[in-house]
Structure 1
Amino acid sequence: HVIAGDSIRSGQGEKQATGISILSLVLGAAALAAGAGDAAMGIMMAGQRAALGDILAFTRVQESTADATGARLLSQSGISGKGLLQFFNKLQNEEYRLAVYDKDSFDRDHPLNSERIEALHQKLSSDPAWNKPVDPQLEARFERVKAKLLGFVDPKQAVLKYPESNQSIPAHYARAYAYHLGAYPDKAEAEADALLTIDPHDPFFLELKGQLLLEDGKPKDAVAPLREATKRSGDAPLIAAMLGHALVETNDPKNFQEAKQILKVAVNRDNEDPFAWYELGIIYDREGDQPRASLATAERSNLQDDPKMALASAQMAMKGIPPGTPDYLRAQDIAMVSRAELAKKDKKYRKDGNE
């Protein structure tokens, strides 16, 4: 969808459908003026249906194009498309489970899963990479991700799927988070330590250890593993933000300068993390730099869809930040966007109130 620019081109489909809808209304009004009330109603209803069908057809083409692009990218990357087909088969099975059966695709904004599977199978099964085994390193990372998610989302199921007899890396990962969420801190830390025994320099094992300690109320103990994790991950923004949080939570003023530098780097690399902005705002506040604390709050509120708070904070920031500086211009941008968003919401509220 990104490569095809679908989010930009979606307006084309809407414009064409709107044209059909308006034309049907004009013709219906003409029929009504001529005294043909039933014909007018039929024309308008048919026009609305035609407009809906037109935009649904437009989105189906976009989805089919996206499928073909995905298949092409897999081929260019030398990756088998079997996983993509398995995913669509899962979607189809879910539809069967919910008694959503294939009829025709004319009243849907996506092609039928059966149609998508057939089209993709024709493309992918003839590709040289079709029977190519998955990269073992990629598969190992994916198994970690699945285990981590299961430990977070369903701790009980994680413990059942990964019993303690299973000493694999994904099993340690899953049990660590499951025990952590189940309030068994000693068991959770033991699983993290087992991972660090396997590879003491893995940044994600270090991150896990630091996260467990931090969330168990031991921020001082969490700093060392999180600092090492940040270093070995190349200053990954999410890990760096957690390190900044740990440094702030120590309540030691000696750590605040390091926390500020780390968090500034984190938001420069990923400025869409509200938590990092929140922590950076705390640092500025404790330093007595209220204008930049307000700017951090404006950034966070802007990300959290709170234009009222974003506008108030941006205005407060501009009162104390020298005009023309990057921070001042950023506060000005947030204020402008927030005003527009508030005006948009107010207009919608008034419109809904008059209907």
Structure 2
Amino acid sequence: MTLIAQPAMAQSILRDAETEALLHDMATPLIRAAGLDPRNVSVVLVGDMSINAFVAGGQAVYINAGLINEAGSALEVQGVIAHELGHITGGHVISDGGSREAQGISILSLLLGGIAAAAGSGDAAMGVIMAGQQAALGKYLAFSRGQEASADAAGAEYLSKAGLSGRGSLSFFKRLQNLEMRYGFTRNADSEFYSTHPMTSDRITTLQDTYEKDPSWNAPADPELEGRFKRVKAKLFGYLSEPQRTLQVYPETMTDVPARYARAYAFHKDARLDKALAETDALLTLAPNDPYFLELKGQILLESGRPGEALPMLRRATQLSNFHPLIATTFGHALIATEDPAQLGEAEQVLRAAVSRDRENPFAWYQLGVIYGMKGDLPRARLASAEQQALQLNYPQALQSAQTAQAGLPTGSPDWIRAGDIAMEARAAIEQRKKRR
């Protein structure tokens, strides 16, 4: 993956339609058990292979990809989510006036960033921003051990109310304990997770008694959710790991869905198009109407410079996913990448619908700007640039673009008002930055 890091940003946040749907379904019963509204709580995947999860302001739980990779089941991850929700309900987050900056968003490609080549222009280097986010996660909150114990207790309560067994939580803590022993983790300032969390053995002892007494202790895991977890885990591994490593973990002798999923990413990253397509075709033979398999094949074709061939896959994936904005944005980009003027009308329609459902999608705004520019609608092209730049925390450029857009838009129109809002937001952010220096 190609990351576009901004000065204030430390980590990449991955966005993917299938993964977000899984995390939402895993978290929803726990969020409700915590007395929160699922519409207001998000679970965000961080592109960091270290084992950690945290909250950093607001009602958002951040889970590192490394934690997903280490976890053996969806139930284990649900135990982590329950714990982090305990931090949120316990008020263990320090409010920061700069929280918007601390959690700024920038969409990144879920695959490789070869979109830039497919688009056929230097400006299309922005094409690497597709299905991920950037967030300045350097402001980790170092919870005290007392707060961790409180979050453990709250997490156990939420698992119980949701009817989920604590076996997964205990299993995950035992994994951490094994890692401590295997790699000799020390609790010092250089080991953030281990220096701020209670001793794993103590947590296991305390929680085991609580969980074993709970009526949900023997509740079975959801097999459908567990199957989806295995898919996503393999998908992320194939995306984040070096191709050689992926092929070691998921050799070609393995023919199940997770293994083929992982290898499709590995082969694509290694520019072995025929093998990547062979894996996606095998997946589609098993499930021809799976929107995520269709999306993957479409992305591989698009990022390999074959956008015309990608269109049927991405159009179908968009329809089957109920017009998921991330998938729709890839479809819109493929329409533009064909360089066929006849496709621009549909591309504009698709991308406008995508941003209406997910405004925090910089690449969709970038593509809309491209379309407006090709149509000669420069004020709206600059407004789309302002939306993109504000999401990427490039406030000076956002201010300039918004002012230019507003000068050319009809006074009082919705777009004129929106340009003014972005300009006001950008000015305030610039002033805040000055004060912190």
TM-score by length of 1: 0.78
Distance in 2 (alpha carbons) for counterparts of 1:297 and 1:287: 15
Amino acid aligned to 2:239: F
Seen in structure 2, the aligned counterparts of structure 1 residues 153 and 9 have a Cα distance that, compared at 3 Å, is closer
Secondary structure at 1:271 match in 2: coil
Give the counterpart of 1:132 among 201, 213, 219: 219
Give the counterpart of 2:244 among 156, 164, 168: 156
Give the counterpart of 2:338 among 246, 250, 255: 250
Is residue 100 of structure 1 aligned with residue 186 of structure 2?
Answer: yes
Partner of 2:150: 65
Secondary structure at 1:298 match in 2: helix
Question: Per-residue deviation at 1:6?
Answer: 5.7
Partner of 2:423: 335
Which whole-Å deviations, capped at 9, do the CAs of 1:314-337 have from their partners, x for residues lacking one? 111111222333322222121111
Contact 1:150–1:157 (CA under 8 A) maintained in structure 2: no
Give the counterpart of 2:326 among 210, 219, 238: 238
Map 1:299-310 → 2, pairs under 5 A: 299-310=387-398
Partner of 1:314: 402
Partner of 1:325: 413
Seen in structure 2, the aligned counterparts of structure 1 residues 178 and 316 have a Cα distance that, compared at 3 Å, is same
Distance in 1 (alpha carbons) for counterparts of 2:184 and 2:358: 39
Contact 2:291–2:318 (CA under 8 A) maintained in structure 1: yes
Seen in structure 2, the aligned counterparts of structure 1 residues 152 and 336 have a Cα distance that, compared at 3 Å, is same
Distance in 1 (alpha carbons) for counterparts of 2:195 and 2:234: 35
Give the counterpart of 2:167 among 69, 82, 87: 82
Partner of 1:205: 293
Contact 2:406–2:419 (CA under 8 A) maintained in structure 1: yes
Distance in 2 (alpha carbons) for counterparts of 1:310 and 1:63: 40
Distance in 1 (alpha carbons) for counterparts of 2:195 and 2:271: 46
Amino acid aligned to 2:294: L
Partner of 2:373: 285
Seen in structure 2, the aligned counterparts of structure 1 residues 291 and 115 have a Cα distance that, compared at 3 Å, is farther
Is residue 144 of structure 1 aligned with residue 228 of structure 2?
Answer: no
Question: Per-residue deviation at 1:244?
Answer: 0.7
Is residue 10 of structure 1 aligned with residue 97 of structure 2?
Answer: no
Contact 1:162–1:175 (CA under 8 A) maintained in structure 2: yes
Seen in structure 2, the aligned counterparts of structure 1 residues 259 and 119 have a Cα distance that, compared at 3 Å, is farther
Contact 1:95–1:101 (CA under 8 A) maintained in structure 2: no
Contact 2:92–2:147 (CA under 8 A) maintained in structure 1: no
Question: Per-residue deviation at 1:313?
Answer: 0.8
Runs (5+) with no aligned partner, structure 1: 13-54, 350-355
Distance in 2 (alpha carbons) for counterparts of 1:256 and 1:317: 22
Distance in 1 (alpha carbons) for counterparts of 2:384 and 2:92: 31
Which whole-Å deviations, capped at 9, do the CAs of 1:206-249 have from their partners, x for residues lacking one? 00110110011000110110000010011111111100110110
Seen in structure 2, the aligned counterparts of structure 1 residues 7 and 259 have a Cα distance that, compared at 3 Å, is farther
Amino acid aligned to 1:175: R
Distance in 1 (alpha carbons) for counterparts of 2:184 and 2:364: 41
Give the counterpart of 1:121 among 205, 208, 226: 208
Seen in structure 2, the aligned counterparts of structure 1 residues 305 and 99 have a Cα distance that, compared at 3 Å, is same
Contact 2:187–2:195 (CA under 8 A) maintained in structure 1: no
Secondary structure at 2:219 match in 1: coil
Partner of 1:224: 312
Question: Per-residue deviation at 1:185?
Answer: 0.2
Contact 1:266–1:276 (CA under 8 A) maintained in structure 2: yes
Distance in 2 (alpha carbons) for counterparts of 1:214 and 1:178: 16
Question: Per-residue deviation at 1:94?
Answer: 4.2
Question: Per-residue deviation at 1:291?
Answer: 1.3
Amino acid aligned to 2:293: F
Bigger Cα Rg: 1
Identity of matched residues, %: 50
Seen in structure 2, the aligned counterparts of structure 1 residues 9 and 163 have a Cα distance that, compared at 3 Å, is closer
Distance in 2 (alpha carbons) for counterparts of 1:229 and 1:177: 18
Runs (5+) with no aligned partner, structure 2: 1-54, 60-84, 97-140, 189-193
Amino acid aligned to 1:79: L
Of Structure 1 and Structure 2, the greater helix share is in 1
Amino acid aligned to 1:77: A
Of Structure 1 and Structure 2, the greater strand share is in 2
Amino acid aligned to 2:208: H
Give the counterpart of 1:295 among 383, 397, 400: 383
CA RMSD of the aligned region, Å? 2.5
Amino acid aligned to 1:139: E
Which whole-Å deviations, capped at 9, do the CAs of 1:230-287 have from their partners, x for residues lacking one? 1001111111110011011011111111111111111111111211111111111111
